[in-house]
Structure 1
């Protein structure tokens, strides 16, 4: 991935005061932090580097009142400094609105490529939400709609221009993001958790998610994490699961699958003739259930 902007260039565009130093006790963490998982190994490596060279790039903060400053960018360095027992750290104080602070925190992490795939996806959705004045949860539907609209009439709307601008700022293709990253947010929670911790790659995560049976999926996930199975090996395991004899509760699974497929197909709208046939079978099923 080629980054088209640097952290220093982005920060330089914002109003600031000269670099200074602040006591660690004067810095408070922000409620908004795109990074949720801090890799222990990388944190240890950072601490070794800071011991040897110090903090080479200042933390970015903004005034929080009462002599306190909210951390906007640089939480990994803040945590490392705290673990090392440092009394103060170099900072740059920025005069930022809430929106600017959130945007800077997102871009700082995205440009550095420090986020795992889940955090990166969530971060970009949050950043798009800020720029488009939408809730992050509303952004995926908009992206899918823009992709479909662009492929049908090739018209560039104001929304699409905003989307393109955001992705250009982090050196990423928005079409690729929609195709490859948006599906991640729909993954089962147990897969999201290990993906967030960097224990598996997102291509493997998407493959594992294709296993619908929860018990089999969790067992496969544990095996992948423990043995670092390749994507090819994962696909082989999935193939074996699909060809294995079905458990005793298969009827419940069949009923559930049939219901979801039928509901998703919307035959009553798309194919009235097929829906009429389905209704015939439903009537037969009801008749069987009424039998004593």
Structure 2
């Protein structure tokens, strides 16, 4: 199983250990009226799975709310920082009072920690995650590198996630519906025009194209737009060299000859693939 990189400080920054509690540096858990608690309008997660929420509601009805909500005081109420799904389940289960931690947090910290909680549980869809990153950048002035460091992601992952917001609306809907994957979406983004992106997305859905097939079509369209009048055919030795390089690097490789030299062109379709190519080259 692939090991996941830890996500920032996560909820460990919010829920105290017994040693910390003994030192008196944190607020203890206590119960408050569920009517005093309000959701966070900046919550990254906007879609809640109804079936999973019903299952959680039944569990809360039978066993109560085991883990406390994390909240902050805001305008005479308690705003949820982490645990909105549990709060919804508690309301549906008819609970009148729920356990909470009260923390003193800024708007930026609230968004950051809500994002971390959802990432840890893999609860966000790709566009919700991208929108949360954009909110951290726009409203709180964080660079992509700072966002990546705070939420425990690679910078390339944050960059790729933000690029999803540039997709045409119809392609976004296909991504949310699961008819195209994140890999398809990244390949589609390689095309410059919205019309070309829509056309390729339609082919993916209609023909059931794999991510690799989608990448190859996207690369072919871009290459076609740049193609010069005539390219000299490769010799047998050059073809053998290119085939060997393509097998070793796992991507398309081309030779372009000039008068006194030429270029070796290595094609990549995402920042993750570029990282992998660089690692393969470094090992040789």
Interval of TM-score (by shorter of Structure 1 and Structure 2): 0.5 to 0.7
Deviation at 1:58, TM superposition (A): 1.0
Output the CA distance in 2 between the equivalents of 1:189 and 1:105.
Answer: 26
Contact kept in structure 2, 1:195 and 1:201, CA below 8 Å: yes
Report if aligned partners of 1:116, 1:198 keep a CA contact under 8 Å in 2: no
- Give yes or no for contact 1:116–1:195 (8 Å, CA) kept in 2: no
Residue in 2 that maps onto 1:195: 175
Residue 53 of structure 2: aligned partner: 43
CA distance in 1, matches of 2:206, 2:92: 34
| Structure 2 CA distance for partners of 1:223 and 1:88, relative to 1, 3 Å | farther
Partner of 1:62, secondary structure, is strand
Which residue of the partner structure matches residue 162 of structure 2?
182
Q: Is it true that 1:105 corresponds to 2:88 in the alignment?
A: no
Which stretch of structure 1 is more off in the superposition, 111-120 or 18-27?
Answer: 111-120
Cα RMSD for the two superposed structures = 3.7
Secondary structure of 1:175's counterpart equals helix
1:61 to 71, 76, 94: 71
Cα distance in 2 between the residues matched to 1:198 and 1:84:
31
TM-score, normalised to structure 2, is 0.58
Q: What residue in structure 2 maps to residue 127 of structure 1?
A: 136
Deviations 1:51-110 (CA, angstroms, capped at 9, x unpaired)? 4443222111122234x2112221111122222222222211112233332332223223
CA distance in 1, matches of 2:112, 2:31: 24
Q: Distance in 2 between matches of 1:173 and 1:85?
A: 41
Gaps of 5+ in 1: 144-162, 243-256, 258-292
Contact 2:11-2:117 at 8 Å conserved across structures: no
Note the C-alpha offset of 1:35.
0.9
Secondary structure class of the residue paired with 2:14: helix
> What is the aligned partner in structure 2 of residue 172 from structure 1?
153
- Mapped contact 1:61–1:70 kept (Cα < 8 A): yes
Q: Does 1:8 align with 2:11?
A: yes
After TM superposition, the structure 1 stretch with the greater mean CA deviation from structure 2, 105-114 or 213-222, is: 213-222
Between the two proteins, the alignment pairs up a number of residues equal to: 209
Deviation at 1:19, TM superposition (A): 0.8
**2: distance between equivalents of 1:234 and 1:175?**
21
TM-score norm. by structure 1 comes to 0.57
Seen in structure 2, the aligned counterparts of structure 1 residues 222 and 175 have a Cα distance that, compared at 3 Å, is: closer
Distance 1:194 1:27, change over 3 A: farther
- Is the helix fraction higher in 1 or 2? 1
- Please report how far the alpha carbon of residue 231 of structure 1 lies from its aligned counterpart in structure 2 after TM superposition: 3.4
